[in-house]
Structure 1
Amino acid sequence: MDDRIREHAEVLVDWSARIEPGDDVVVGVAEDAHDLAVAVAEKLGEVGANVVTTYDSGEVSRAYLRAHDGEFEAGDHELAMAEAADAFLRLGGGRNTTATADVDSDTMQAYSRARTDLREARMDTDWVSTVHPTRSLAQQASMAYEEYQEFVYDAVLRDWESLAERMAEMKTILDEGSEVRLVKEREDQPPTDVTMSVEGRTAVNSAASVAYDSHNLPSGEVFTAPYDTAGEVFFDVPMTINSKRVRGVRLVFEDGEVVEFAAEQGEDEIESVLETDDGARRLGELGIGMNRGIDRFTDNILFDEKMGDTVHLALGRAYDSNLPDGEEGNHSAVHVDMITDVSEASRIEVDGEVVQRDGVFRFEEEFEG
């Protein structure tokens, strides 16, 4: 086995999920993540955790969803397992990144709504999502397999403590701020000028560990839960949503809600997301990418949204970690991230002060105010 796979498993179990002896752990394993699952199981055995593995297959999901009548009910057996677990580890890496592309949108929406309680139960655990480099993901990223392996491990096997210290500066800025404004003025695309309130919210220093309220490996972003969004934003980074290609998305917000939308490709899928429920028209997340180890777009949200020089906004569910005790944020059965490149002709302002220009933060030496 490649030594990097064992290193990946060690980071996941020790740094990210902070698994302890006696913890009840559910490990969801994608079709081609077998090698990582073996390494994770070995590491969990060394720690002394109790392990159950489940099979996470896009092709199995497709078969089930296409055969079903569309009237879904939550499975009590699966919910009981999630509620009893201390941690849930998702090991992504399927055979086909568009395995459910021919499942109709109404079915996908109904299935997502029916599993709301299950998602909530999993998110109450020390959950972490990661991915094993596979040939299908390499193909999606337009990279050679060996090249993609190098890319993944460069992003995953980092000095997370040092990155956490740097990202803490951005967290402080957001925590002390009231309003964030994102502006892009590129001549080759529609304008972006959007404001959102963050007053009273707590930003998360997402350093790839549950100790930081961070649940992705790799990570490398600072995110918060905005509200009262107004203005327009153009997302120029292509992405795959529900196995369908989407690019060139433009959203217009008034009073916190999307009131107008368009897309150069995949507009029907954006419409489907927005129609999921009332919360799907509001933002659940503002995220600022800060992982310089991710140096290219790969059409995989786990990596792309963490890349330095990017900002992402998510339609749908807000995370409780951003909210004051007793306050409810935006509720939705979806959480769909979309990304915009801020490496040029752009700026982020907090309470009128520029904190990032053309991808460079004010606490970095290259910053030009």
Structure 2
Amino acid sequence: MDERVREHAEVLVDWSARIESGDDVVVDVAEDAHELAVAVAEKLGEAGANVVTTYGSDEVLRAYLKGHDGDFGAGDHQLALIENADAYLRLGGGRNTTATADVSSDLRQAYSKANSEAREARMDTDWVSTVHPTRSLAQQAGMAYEEYQAFVYDAVLRDWETLAETMAEMKAILDEGSEVRIVKERDDQPPTDVTMSIEGRTAVNSAASVAYDSHNLPSGEVFTAPYATEGEVFFDVPMTINAQRVKDVHLTFEGGEVVDFAAEQGERELASILDTDEGARRLGELGIGMNRGIDRFTDNILFDEKMGDTVHLAVGRAYDSNLPEGETGNQSAVHVDMITNVSEDSYMAVDGEVVQRDGTFVFEEGFEE
């Protein structure tokens, strides 16, 4: 076994999920993530955890959905499993990144809504999502397999404590702020000029550990839950959403909601997402990428949204970790991230003060007013 796989498992179990003896753990394993699953199982055994393994296959899911009439049950058996778990580890890495491409949007929406309770219960565990480098993901990223392996491990096997200290400076800025404005003006694309309120919100220093309210490995972002969004934003980073290619998305917000939208590619899928429910047209997240171990776009949101020199906004569900105790944020059956590259001709201001310009933060060397 590649020693980097063992290191990945160690970071996941010890740093990210903070597994302790006696913890009840669900490990959801995608196709072709077997090797990582073996390494994770070994670490969980050493930790004295109790393990149930499930098979999270997109090809199996496609077969199920294509055969179903769309009248899904409440999923009480899945809910019972998750409600009795202390931690939920998702090991991604499928054989076909577009395995569910021919499943209708209506069927996908119905399935998502039917599983909302189980999804909420999973959020209440110490859940962590990671990915094992597979050939299909390398192909999607346009990289040789060995090249993609090196890319993944550069992003995952970081000095997370040091990165957490740097990201804490951005968290402090957001926690003390009331309004964020993002502006980008490039001749080759529609303008971005969008403002949103963050007053009363708590930003998360997403340092790839549940100890930081962070649930992705790799991570490397600071995120919060905005509201009262106004203006327009252009997302120039292509992405695959629900196995559909979506490219060059332009959203216009009024009164906190998306009132107009367009996409050069995948507009029908975008429309389906925005029509899922009332909360799907409101923002659930503002995320600021700060992981400079991720140095290119790979069409995988787990990596792309964490990349330095990017900002992402998600329509749909807001995370409770950003909200005051007892307050309910934006509710939706979806949470879909879209990314804009802010490496040039752009700035971000908090309460009128520029805190990032052309990808460089105010606390970094080389920042220019």
Is TM (by shorter chain) over 0.5?
yes
Corresponding residue of 2:131: 131
Corresponding residue of 1:54: 54
| Deviation at residue 96 of structure 1 after TM alignment | 0.2
> Residue by residue, what CA displacement relative to the aligned partner does 1:321-366 show, whole Å, maximum 9, x if unpaired?
0000111000000000000000000000000000000000000011
- The 3-state SS of whatever aligns with 1:251 is strand
- The 3-state SS of whatever aligns with 2:126 is coil
Letter in 2 for 1:280: A
- The 3-state SS of whatever aligns with 1:66 is helix
| Deviation at residue 199 of structure 1 after TM alignment | 0.2
The yes-or-no answer on 1:177 pairing with 2:190 is: no
Corresponding residue of 2:349: 349
Corresponding residue of 2:6: 6
Cα distance between partner residues in 2 of 1:257 and 1:316: 11
Corresponding residue of 2:101: 101
The yes-or-no answer on 1:31 pairing with 2:26 is: no
| Deviation at residue 75 of structure 1 after TM alignment | 1.6
Cα distance between partner residues in 1 of 2:87 and 2:198: 30
> Residue by residue, what CA displacement relative to the aligned partner does 1:269-317 show, whole Å, maximum 9, x if unpaired?
0000001000000000000000000000000000000000000000000
Corresponding residue of 1:44: 44
Cα distance between partner residues in 1 of 2:354 and 2:71: 49
Letter in 1 for 2:167: M
Corresponding residue of 1:297: 297
Cα distance between partner residues in 2 of 1:94 and 1:52: 20
Letter in 2 for 1:300: N
CA contact (8 A) 2:237 2:339 kept: yes
- The 3-state SS of whatever aligns with 1:133 is coil
Corresponding residue of 1:281: 281
Letter in 2 for 1:319: Y
Letter in 1 for 2:106: D
Letter in 2 for 1:35: E
CA contact (8 A) 2:29 2:91 kept: yes
CA contact (8 A) 2:315 2:335 kept: yes
Corresponding residue of 2:118: 118
> Residue by residue, what CA displacement relative to the aligned partner does 1:87-145 show, whole Å, maximum 9, x if unpaired?
00000000000000000000000000111000000000000000000000000000000
Q: Give runs of ≥4 in structure 1 deviating > 3 Å.
A: none
Letter in 2 for 1:223: F
Cα distance between partner residues in 1 of 2:343 and 2:74: 43
| Deviation at residue 77 of structure 1 after TM alignment | 1.0
Corresponding residue of 1:211: 211
| Deviation at residue 73 of structure 1 after TM alignment | 1.5
Corresponding residue of 1:332: 332
| Deviation at residue 158 of structure 1 after TM alignment | 0.3
The yes-or-no answer on 1:79 pairing with 2:79 is: yes
- The 3-state SS of whatever aligns with 2:200 is coil
Cα distance between partner residues in 1 of 2:252 and 2:159: 39
Corresponding residue of 1:257: 257
Cα distance between partner residues in 2 of 1:120 and 1:76: 13
Cα distance between partner residues in 1 of 2:358 and 2:292: 14
CA RMSD of aligned residues (A): 0.3
The yes-or-no answer on 1:18 pairing with 2:24 is: no
Q: Within 5 Å, which residues of 2 pair with 1:152-231? A: 152-231=152-231
Cα distance between partner residues in 1 of 2:78 and 2:191: 45
> Residue by residue, what CA displacement relative to the aligned partner does 1:51-96 show, whole Å, maximum 9, x if unpaired?
0000011110000001100111122111000000000000000000
Cα distance between partner residues in 1 of 2:78 and 2:207: 29
Cα distance between partner residues in 2 of 1:271 and 1:113: 17
Cα distance between partner residues in 1 of 2:261 and 2:63: 32
Letter in 2 for 1:189: Q
Cα distance between partner residues in 1 of 2:74 and 2:84: 16
Cα distance between partner residues in 1 of 2:42 and 2:104: 39
Cα distance between partner residues in 1 of 2:132 and 2:142: 17
Please report the TM-score for the alignment, with normalisation by the length of structure 2.
1.00
Letter in 2 for 1:325: E
- The 3-state SS of whatever aligns with 1:258 is strand
CA contact (8 A) 2:205 2:213 kept: yes
| Deviation at residue 252 of structure 1 after TM alignment | 0.2
Please report the TM-score for the alignment, with normalisation by the length of structure 1.
1.00
The yes-or-no answer on 1:365 pairing with 2:339 is: no
Cα distance between partner residues in 2 of 1:357 and 1:13: 36
| Deviation at residue 219 of structure 1 after TM alignment | 0.1
Cα distance between partner residues in 2 of 1:84 and 1:58: 25
Corresponding residue of 1:149: 149
Letter in 2 for 1:344: E
CA contact (8 A) 2:309 2:343 kept: yes
| Deviation at residue 212 of structure 1 after TM alignment | 0.1
Cα distance between partner residues in 2 of 1:299 and 1:73: 33
CA contact (8 A) 2:26 2:89 kept: yes
CA contact (8 A) 2:75 2:114 kept: no
Cα distance between partner residues in 2 of 1:3 and 1:74: 42
